[in-house]
Amino acid sequence: MTGPVRSVSQAFAILRLLACEGPMTLSQVCRATGSSPSSGLNLLRTLVAEGAVERAAGAAVYRLASAWQGADLLAGARMARLIARAHPLLTRFARTHDTACGLWQQLGGDRLALVALGESEAATRIHMVIGQRQPFGAGSIGRALIAAEAADQVDMERRFARLRWRRPLAFAAWAEQVARARQTGVGIDDGYAFPGIVSIGTLVPGTGRPRLCLSASVFAGARSDAEIDALGQALRDLARDAALHEG
């Protein structure tokens, strides 16, 4: 399965940005989205041509077209504000604990998308990309999500059957891992979803739908079990930060 189209993702990032911040110049849009001037200009011209964005008369600023100022996009703007607040928190956590720290959003009922990322300053780091997807139920955050749902045996077997693992994993072992996540509030994946990577995942409590989750990822063998448990507790503390709960 192919990943998201980068230009489409960038276009939606611009729409959310204008919905959140109001009229902006080309340079402001490029600086906020990380786009080059030529790429940003091409995207804005395309959005103008499609009627989603308009250029203010007599001014070099772009704004959201009135037809695109509905409730769905405003919800996207709220998410954009949350992501902006989350980024420095994730970065501080990543550098303090020498880990890659991600904020994930549940898409529909069966996918998760990475919406914000904090990276350590280590020379060798785990590579993650904003917009990357993973199936619901896979990885550490998948275990944490299913644990929170208190799914019955039949539903768990159905979800497990849809997953593909990079290391062999029996249903009974996976179910035990979900049960442990239910007790501790933290899911752990030791290289089953991503070889050579241990990930820890937890839900951001009280955020409703779409659900938000946090992950911390380290190289396999780099931490003891006690250190992994301590990292999980620190991640749960981060998930309770007020900045991740404001509207």
Radius of gyration of the chain (CA): 20
What pLDDT is stored for residue 80 in this prediction? 73
Span 197-214, pLDDT tens digits: 999 999 998 766 678 899
Tokens, residue 229: 């448990």
DSSP string spanning 55-123?
EPTTSSEEEE-GGG-SHHHHHHHHHHHHHHHHHHHHHHHHHHHTSEEEEEEEETTTEEEEEEEE----S
Tokens, residue 87: 């980024």
Q: Give CA separation, 238 vs 76, 112, 130, 146, in Å.
A: 23, 19, 20, 20
Q: What is the pTM of this model?
A: 0.70
Below-70 pLDDT ranges, the chain: 1-5, 57-58, 66-77, 108-109, 207-209, 246-247
What pLDDT is stored for residue 1 in this prediction? 42
Span 215-245, pLDDT tens digits: 999 999 999 999 999 999 999 999 998 778 7
Query: Which domains are seen in the chain, by residue range?
Result: 6-69 (1.10.10.10), 84-244 (3.30.450.40)
Q: Residue type at 76? A: G
For 53, the 3-state DSSP assignment is: strand
What pLDDT is stored for residue 199 in this prediction? 96
Edge-to-edge strand list for the sheet holding 100-107: 133-135, 111-118, 100-107, 212-219, 197-203, 187-190
Closest CA to 79 of 102, 104, 48: 104
Q: Residue type at 90? A: L
CB atoms within 10 A of CB 139: 27
